[in-house]
Amino acid sequence: MLCENCGENEANVRYTQIINGVKKEMALCEKCSRELGIGEMNFSMPINLSSFLGEFFGNAENVSLPGFTTTKELLCDECGMTFDEFTNTGKFGCANCYDAFSDRIDPILKNLHGANRHVGRKGKITKPELKKMNMVKEEKAKEDKHFSKIDTLKEDLKKAIEEERYEDAAKIRDEIKKLEK
């Protein structure tokens, strides 16, 4: 894809700008992004947060806000796994980890799955359809059994003819005709 600004170089910077809800996207080359000042953006915070809070509350040293203090690391009682280890690996250390980290995991599960407990899978087949399928299977099994009996009788008929037992062959032939009806 070519740069949308110069139209000469390969675009390798994607710039998205949203102003008053209006979204504008541009694909730019490195040179154009530097010229427009996009490639050298600095996202560091320009103000000192402690001085800001100090001015806001009067004395920053006596201010203790729970969101800005270090929080105690969540730890599993049984295996000793921390919540940070879980987020890095994506695996729990033991079954107790589910309970130990439940206050942080439950909201995530609710967002992903709509519930934080497994409620089972709802099948696409309803009970009446399942009964009908079972009946069809039973009928097919009966037909297969019926056809297998006919097949064995046909083999017996061939043997009887080869052995020149014509009376037995006639009885078997009649039985086959009866089953085929």
Three-state DSSP class for residue 25: strand
Which has more confidence, 165 or 66? 165
> Is there a domain that residue 31 lies in?
yes
92 and 135, same structural domain?
A: no
115 and 132, same structural domain?
A: no
Residue 112 is part of which domain span? 73-120
The structure's pTM equals 0.29
Please name the residues in contact with 171: beta carbons below 8 A apart, sequence gap of 6 or more.
Answer: none
- Dmax over CA atoms of the chain, in Å, equals 119
What digits encode the pLDDT tens for the residues 71-87?
567 888 889 888 888 88
Q: Read off the tokens for 143.
A: 């037909």
> Is there a domain that residue 171 lies in?
yes
147 and 176, same structural domain?
A: yes
The C-alpha atoms of residue 116 and residue 89 are separated, in whole angstroms, by 21
Domains contained in the chain, number: 3
> Is there a domain that residue 59 lies in?
no
The residue among 120, 136, 152 that closes a domain is 120
Identify which of 7, 46, 47 has the alpha carbon closest to the alpha carbon of residue 28.
7
Strand partners of residue 27: 14
